[in-house]
């Protein structure tokens, strides 16, 4: 059993939990994920590892209420335990394997959409610890849906906030902010004309698709995380099949990170929408069950 050490809601529908898992905390790397089960009959849910502390022996997860299983997870409290808390799974981010000489002097930009800010955080934190200059764009519907703003400001070089309604930061999409930065770099008015060596986008599938379309004309290398496709998390169910450069890959065992320009986003979005009706029905039943407790 894996005890919940602390719990707090970052927004009305996004919950952060710190869980006692010493072995995972020692083995985890940025970009990896884990699988949880809230109870004996619970669904296996893949969640990105948001943070880890090897000294405390804890792993941090962030869950957004979008369906029945995520609602059950967020219904747990401090002192409760997960039946299963398995990981780390998936391949770590590429820069984890880079030597100090390879990573030294690189300039990287992250584009985070909504809950995607949670898996971006450990990557930025790791790069900061290795002295890498990182800029971050965070996009959200409104100011109340922004997460990890203060934590991100403490470890990145520049932080740009975008909200749909303009209630915080810039009003508009993350792609607009990215284009403005890239145009400024080419004109020599941003970063003294020093270009980004790498971009990483994590968030809703549609956001990553349009970040890819925006970044490609600039020749900016871009990595995306397809963690939202995963169901079983072990390659057994096949639900996260995706075409990468015309070849079939599984987000859970071959990823979750891939070269954005090789991803068939249209296929991935179709696959992502396959279970919406089933999820809606399950969430309705879950709501009834929780109301009766």
Asked if 47 and 34 touch (Cβ cutoff 8 Å), the reply is: yes
Task: Evaluate if residue 176 carries a pLDDT over 60.
Answer: yes
Residue 104 has a pLDDT of 87
Neighbouring C-alpha atoms within 13 Å toward the C-beta of 19: 36
Stretch 140-163: mean pLDDT: 97
pLDDT band at residue 288 using 50, 70 and 90 as cut-offs: very low
Annotate 51-62 with b (16+ C-beta within 10 A) or e (fewer).
Answer: bbeeeebbbbbb
Stretch 133-149: mean pLDDT: 96
Residue 40 has a pLDDT of 87
Count of C-beta atoms within a 10 Å radius of residue 247:
9
Burial bucket for residue 106 (CB in 10 Å: 0-12, 13-18, 19+): middle
Give 81's strand partners. 3
Count of C-beta atoms within a 10 Å radius of residue 103:
17
Residue 68 has a pLDDT of 86
**Pairing relationship of beta strands 241-244 and 81-82 according to DSSP bridges:** unpaired
Question: Going by CATH, does the domain composed of 2-89 fall within 1.10.10.10?
Answer: no
Higher local confidence (pLDDT), 27 or 230: 27
3-class DSSP state of 276: helix
Structure token digits, residue 150:
């203060």
pLDDT single digits (tens) 21-46:
999 999 999 999 999 998 888 888 99
CA distances for 76 relative to 30, 35, 221, 246, angstroms: 26, 16, 40, 42
CATH class, 94-222 region: alpha beta
pLDDT band at residue 289 using 50, 70 and 90 as cut-offs: low
pLDDT single digits (tens) 45-88:
999 999 999 999 999 999 999 888 899 999 999 999 999 999 99
Round the average pLDDT of the chain to a whole number and report it. 91
pTM, entire model: 0.90
Task: Evaluate if residue 113 carries a pLDDT over 80.
Answer: yes
d(CA 86, CA 270): 28
pLDDT band at residue 291 using 50, 70 and 90 as cut-offs: low
Return the domain boundaries, the chain: 2-89, 94-222
Stretch 267-292: mean pLDDT: 60
């Amino acid at each position: 059993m894996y005890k919940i050490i602390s719990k707090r809601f970052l927004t009305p529908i996004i919950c952060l939990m710190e869980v006692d898992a010493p072995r995972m905390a020692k083995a985890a790397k940025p970009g990896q994920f884990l699988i949880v089960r809230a109870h004996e009959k619970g669904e296996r849910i893949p969640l990105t590892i948001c943070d880890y502390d090897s000294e405390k022996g804890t792993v941090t997860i962030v869950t957004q209420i979008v369906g029945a299983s995520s609602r059950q997870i967020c219904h747990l409290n401090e002192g409760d335990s997960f039946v299963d808390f398995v990981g780390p799974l998936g391949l770590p981010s590429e820069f984890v394997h880079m030597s100090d000489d390879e990573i030294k002097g690189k300039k990287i930009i992250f584009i985070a959409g909504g809950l995607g800010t949670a898996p971006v955080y450990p990557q930025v934190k790791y790069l900061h610890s290795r002295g890498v200059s990182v800029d971050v764009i965070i996009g959200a519907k409104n100011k109340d849906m922004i997460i990890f703003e203060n934590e991100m400001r403490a470890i990145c070089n520049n932080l740009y906030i975008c909200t749909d309604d303009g209630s915080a930061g810039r009003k508009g999409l993350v792609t607009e902010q990215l284009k403005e930065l890239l145009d400024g770099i080419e004109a020599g008015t941003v970063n003294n004309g020093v270009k980004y060596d790498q971009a990483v986008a994590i968030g809703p599938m549609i956001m990553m698709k349009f970040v890819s379309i925006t970044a490609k004309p600039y020749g900016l290398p871009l990595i995306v995380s397809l963690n939202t496709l995963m169901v079983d998390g072990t390659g057994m169910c096949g639900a996260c099949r995706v075409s990468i450069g015309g070849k079939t890959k599984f987000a859970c065992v071959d990823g979750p990170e891939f070269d954005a320009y090789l991803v068939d986003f249209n296929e991935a979005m179709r696959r992502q929408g396959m279970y919406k009706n089933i999820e809606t029905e399950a969430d309705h039943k879950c709501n009834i069950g929780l109301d009766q407790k």
